[in-house]
Each structure stands twice: as C-alpha cells, then as structure tokens.
Structure 1
Amino acid sequence: MLSRFARLRKVARTLSVASPRLNQQIILRRSLATTSSTPKIIQFALSDIGEGTKEVVVKEWYVKVGQVVEEFDELVEVQSDKANVDITSRYAGKIVKIHYEIDDVAQVGDPLVDIEIEGDDDEEPIDNYVDHTESAASDDAVLTKSEEKPHKAGNKVKASPAVRKIAKNNNVDLSLVTPTGKGGTITKEDIEEFMAGPAPAPTPVPPAVQIAHGSAPVAAPKPIKQMPVRTQAASTGGSRTESLGPIAKAMQKSMNEALKIPHFGYNEEYDVTNLVELRKVLKPLAAEYGIKLSYMPFIIKAVSLALSESPILNSSLSPDGSQIIYHEDHNIGFATDTPHGLLVPNIKQVQNLSILEVAQELNRLHQAGLDNKLKPTDIQGGTFSLSNIGAIGGTYAKPVILVPQVAIGAIGKIQRLPRFGPNDEIVARHLTYISWTADHRIIEGAQMARFSNKLKQYLEEPGSMMLHLR
C-alpha cells in the first residue's frame, strides 16, 4: 500500500507536464505537512517527594480523562507515610489516561497520568515521551531536527528534577548522555562523566522553551506527625461500686471534721543549699549504721526545735472549744503514700531524739506503712504533721489539718534556681517551699510567721541546730 506522500508524489508527477505550478503547490503542501507540529503524549511520572519516600497512596484525583489542564494545576493528592502532598502538572495539555484508582499504591518514578501536549521537535520532554505518531519517511522529505539528534523520536530520556537542573545549569543535552541508572535513568554521575570526557558542544536550550517546559519539582511539605492510634476496650457505658475500706473510712471521717475548721495558709521559701552540702557529708556516715539519711530527718528535727519556741503550734483545742491543750512531746507525723491508702504515722518524742535516731524511726515507720504493718500506736498521738509532696514532684500545696492538731506543713521539691548573691551576682541555690496551714481559731498569722522564720534559720544554717541538740 502506498503511503500518503508516495501517492501525492505520483499525482504530482502525473500532473507536472500539464501544470508545473500545480506541482509546486503540492510539493509546498507536502513540505508544510512534514514540518508542522503533532500532538505528543507525555507520561507524567511520580517524582521523589522527599524524606526517603518510595511509594504513596492515591487519595483523591482533581482531574479526569479529557480534562484540559494548565501548567502547575493540581492533579492528584497522594499520601506518604509522613504527609499528604498535592502533585501539580508540569505541562499544559489534555489528560488522556489516569493510571491509578483511589487508594492504589504508586511507586516513585511510575507514571500517574498521560498528558497530550502540542509537539515540538526542538525540545525533549521532561517525563517519559510516548510516540503515538506514524513515521512518514520519504526520500525527498524535508530534514527535521529529530534526524540531527542521536536519539530518534520516541526514545525516552529519564532523569530526576535535580539531575535535570544540573544539566540545565551546565548546558548539557540529556539526549547525548549515556544513562547508567535503573531503568535507563540518567544520574548525576552520568552527567559528570559526560562533562569530564570529550563530547560535542551542547546546544543551549532556548529560554522560552525553558519557561514553557521547565522542571517544577514538587516541594515536600514539612512532615506532620501522625496521631497515635489508641486501642480502646469496648465500653458498655456502665459503672461499678466499691465499698470504702477501713483506711478510706478513717480518712473520710477526718476530712469531715477538718471541714469544720477555718483554715488559713502561709508559704515561705527556704534556701537549703548548706543543708544539701551537710547531707552529702553525713549520708555515708549514716550508711555505716544501715540508716538511709534523707532530708526529712533534718526537717523534722528543725520543726521540733522551732516548736519549742512556738508551743501553741504543738497544741490542740478541747472538744468543747473552751481550752487550748499544750503537748509536751513533739509527736511529729508524716504523710505516707502506701498501696493501701494515705497513712500518717508519727515519730514520738522528737525533742529527745538525735537526727540519726529520727532517720532510723522514719525509715521503720515508712517501711511498715508500705508493708501494711503499722500498729495503732504508730498512728495515734500525733501533735503536728508534715506532708512531703516534693517526693512526688509538687512545689506548692494547700494541706488539710489533721484534727485535733492545729497546724500542718507541705514540703515542696528541692530545686536548683538562680538567686542574687551578696554582691548582686547571680548564683545557683538549692531552694524549697513549705506551704503551711493553721487553725485560725487559735493560731494567728504572726505566730505562724515567727515559727516559719525560726525554722528557716535552722534549715538555712543547719549547723545552728547543734547548739540545741540534747
């Protein structure tokens, strides 16, 4: 079967004798037909969106087959393991094929859509070029640009946007570079080798073509952390009841009684830097006796010395509220968080004990509380109480008085904080805060302040306690 141009040639030769002018017109039309632009189909591939992503899930298509798109129009939303990204078109043309359905997995480098664009033999397509035109070669056809290039029409030039940018900056014609990458992809090393070796002078790409068909890499957005998936047990929407144990019942009774008392609070900052250093020295000495030496024995002993000068804080109110009962012994309790509930055992006669003896009794009562082996005598008879919330992490609190006592203190955690030194220089100090609560029926604010000041003296200069120890 004769080709179209062969038939035209035969007709022209037949008519050339009768009409030379008609022959010239046919040749001219043949020449125009061979040099006019023809549509091309570009396979628009999924570019590397960064963060090491190798595959994505197609979430939503913004285009459909037959739709005309412009350069930079959004084509599809894809989801990687780090973020959702909108892929935009690098070309203006018509969508002729969509390669994936919703929720399909696409690999980096695979085609997403086929786009029909206006052909231009002066420019190699950025993505894979699929030649759908029929060759019309003839002996006297007009010479085109494609015949001058080593690559024939229909060959694919594969390269990432980064590699294409390197080629563009160095005026390298990718069609002259021998690819060594996977699937015939041109790599950065291929371009460097091409530039290092002897090669024909590259033909600069016209600036207008660069604008029309330039690479527009999709910028990877900042990764967004995915919300953790929590597995929740099936809920029936019901509830359950639990009877109060003996410790909880005792706490309920005590708190109900405390609600009848008018509480007032007082807070103070204590610089315990010297106490921290003293404990470092005495801790290994106490360990020789098998005793764990914390800060609490020092604080308990200092409270006892301060109570000696403020005995009203070691008192209680008579049941009828007509008398104040002063207690000779300093039975200082400390709140203990146990698996069985909150317990407040007390160390008896602290005024007669050394710091080492206080530490020994403190450790015994604490362990007995954890083992649920406290005796009634360990709980009864307290005259003053402390709560070491700092052991858990608190700084301030509003402790509730343990009836029939008239005061309680909550000790915050020890922190290393900046303060001004004697010469206005910034120095690091170890500080703690104690939140006091007192029964305002018999305790005045001034009395609590004086007690706190005396305690502050003992804690900030722990050596001063030596003068009052028995």
Structure 2
Amino acid sequence: MAAVTRGSFSALRRLLSQQYRRRCFRLQNFRPERTLHTPLFTCDRNLQMFSSRTLHTAAVSRGPIVQFKLSDIGEGIMEVTVKEWYVKEGDKVSQFDSICEVQSDKASVTITSRYDGVIKKLYYDVDATALVGKPLVDIETESGSEVIQEEDVVETPAMAREEHTHQEIKGHKTQATPAVRRLAMENNIKLSEVVGTGKDGRILKEDILNFLAKQTGAILPPTPFQEIQTPAPAPAPAATRPMSTPAVTKPPPTTPKPVFTGKDVTEPLKGFHKAMVKTMSAALKIPHFGYCDEVDLSRLVALRAELRSVAEGRGIKLSYMPFFIKAASLGLLHFPILNASVDEGCQNITYKASHNIGLAMDTNQGLLVPNVKNVQLLSVFEIAQELNRLQALGSAGQLGTSDLTGGTFTLSNIGSIGGTYAKPVILPPEVAIGALGKIQVLPRFGAGGQVIPVHIMKVSWSADHRIIDGATMCRFSNLWREYLENPASMVLDLK
C-alpha cells in the first residue's frame, strides 16, 4: 500500500500546482487510517513524506532563467564601465542585493537585483564596458517567485555599501525608520541621495527636511542639535590638555611610489577620463578671456579662526571655501550674466535663477566637479555643511549624478594642492570659472608706508569672451575681492 501511495503522490506532484500539492499533503497527514497501522508503516510513511518534501523544495528552487539587463541610467548615458562584481556564478541573491558597481562618465552607481535566485552567468569582466539595454547577468529565479521582465534597479549609494541595511525604497538600502521613509516617499526624495547624521549614518527626519530645503530653496530653523551645541572650549595648556588632543594632528602625507613597467601600455579611456575628453573638446570651441588678481585675506583669516571652533562644536569643519563660494554668489546677484548659459550655436542666453556653484575636486577617480545647489539661499555655515557632505562622498567615490550636474558657476581650489596661478578651462554650458591659488604670507606696504606681513591669495578667472567682456569680469572680481577683504561687509547682503 505504501508503494501505491508513493506512486500516486509522484503522479500528483507532476500534474498538480504547488498550492494543490500542499492541500494533498494536509489531507494525507490527517487520514484516520494511519493510526491503525503498525509503527513500521509509520516510519515508512515519515520517510515518504520527507522524500516528497525534499522533491517539492527542489521543484520550487528551480525556475526560469532571466536575463538581467542594464537599465537606462539617464543623462543620455549609453555605456558604463564595470568596476566591481559583488557576486559570482553560483551565488544565491535576494531582491535588492548588490550585483555590481558600474561607473559612467558622470557618477558611480550600484546595480541591485530585482529577483530571488541564483547567478548563472556574468556577461562582463571587471573594467569591461557594459552597454545600456544589454544583459549583465543571468539569474535562475525561484519558480515560486513572481518573474516580471523588467530592467534592473539602479542604486546611487550615498554611504558605504557595508553600512546599508535592507529597505525597499526603489531598490535603495539605507538606515532609516519607517516614519523617515514615509516622509521621503511623500516628498519624492531618494534616500540614497541623503547623507544621514544619526548614529552609524542613520537618516533622521532633520536630514530629510534639510535636503528638501536645499531642493526647494526654503530656509529652515536650526535643528535642536545645533541649538544645544556650544562652542568648543579654548585649547588648554600643555600640562592640562586632554589625551584626545593628539588625535587632531594630521598624519604625514604618504608619498606615492613611482611606477615603472618597462614597457608601453595602451588602454582605452573610460569613465571620468572619457567624460573629460568630451567636456574639454567642447570647451575648446569657447574663446577664453583670462583675468588675474590678488586678494588680501588677512581679515578673513582672523574671522575664520574665531568661527572655526563654533563650527566644530556643531560637527562641521569650516574651511575658507564657504566664504569664497558665498562671496561669489553675492557677486553674481550684481552680474547675472556670469551665472548664465548659452546654447550650442550661441544664439540664445539663459540667465539661471539658482546659483549652483561647483567646486573642482581632486579624487581617486580623477577630476570631479560637484556643486552646491541654491547658494543664494544658504548661509556660510549651510554651505560648509554641504561641502562636508560632498567631500565625504567624493573621497568615498560615491558622488551621485544629482551632485555632479546642474552647475552654473565654478571655482577651482588649485591652491589646496599647490601653485599660485592657473588658467582654468570653462565647463560648458557655463560661461565663467575661477581658479584659487594657495594662501601665502607675503610682505606688503601698509597705510603708513611700513612693510607688514599679509595673507595673499592669487585668483585667475576665465570667461566666455563671446558674451562676457573684460570690464564685466574685472568688476565682478573687484566686488568678490571686496567681500573677502572686508568680510564684515558680507553681513549687509547675507540672506
């Protein structure tokens, strides 16, 4: 009888659906006849059920093989470079698990899975070029899961991948409470673009509100965290200085090792290097007008020294760049033509309402130019907050597309590396750019004719000479210099 039962079950397993098979199991488990049989038959029946369930599990784990295609990342990007695989053939993946990291000519993005299943094939090697719309991997999905032929999910990480926790918001994995997730969804905000200020990078409600304010131009009151924080105390004498003070000292810079291969190496240009070829080729069509000047930053140096401890008490590192950027925005209010763009044929000019000021940043991936949005509506401290966020993402190689696009004016702080003068190249469709040299203590004549030490910085401007004349560039530079040489004058125009 046991053999008949096993044969019948095998036939039913092949012919009936998964749900009906489960019902059959329940009916067989509760058949009253089983209590009348001997213990030997019960053991045989248990063995039968164990074998049947094993076959059932194997049947569920096998499903159709889906070609997982690279979706349209946007911005007209048609190809990317595969930078790293997070899976290999034979690995089991779940929905929203990271598949690989790819790099376009604008940003790095992480591709995440839409299905539960097993990786059967990888279509590209590391550093290979993947095409939009072509398969990345083959995934053998589970037959019990719903298989929908859709394009893959693209995740733009805003923090380190290992800090992510599972969250179903358009494929992004972030740390946030359900209330914060709901607030982000209601305002159509991608959590991957928000940097969390909570413990372990957790995104707080205040982070969402601050991000929304930057997008809409609203001005929010300071958060309770900022109000409670007090300025850091003055440095204690050496005898009473706390033990944590040595942690502030910077480690000595590491000297890069020379590279000598002994033979010529030819490789294709990829990623940001390929983007630079395209951008600089377009910039070559622009007639550049150059203008240089020097700025006395002695008063600004003293002001920053006073405010730096206040900013550090709020958890923000305050450099000179927020002042340079804010002074540029105040100058653009008087010279809006420098915050404009022209079409390819130079037939129309568009005056930009927002001051999205870019900062040329040297990273391991090459030259990147993220921008601070709506500088005209931000305070110096808020600009410093945004710069801290962009610099953290740039160091981690995780700047998103929204951070790298939409710029209207650019400053290049070449002095942070070295040098005094530069000839900056305009980033189309922008029409002006400035390069800032290093700050030097140099001798200058004071009001009484005596020689005094002052903090001097050289600045080099480039403007699109098709629409900007030399006088306009000169007047803007003079106004920008006045704001920095007399930072108290900025208070009258701050908003």
The normalised TM-score by structure 2 is 0.47
The normalised TM-score by structure 1 is 0.50
More helix by share: 2
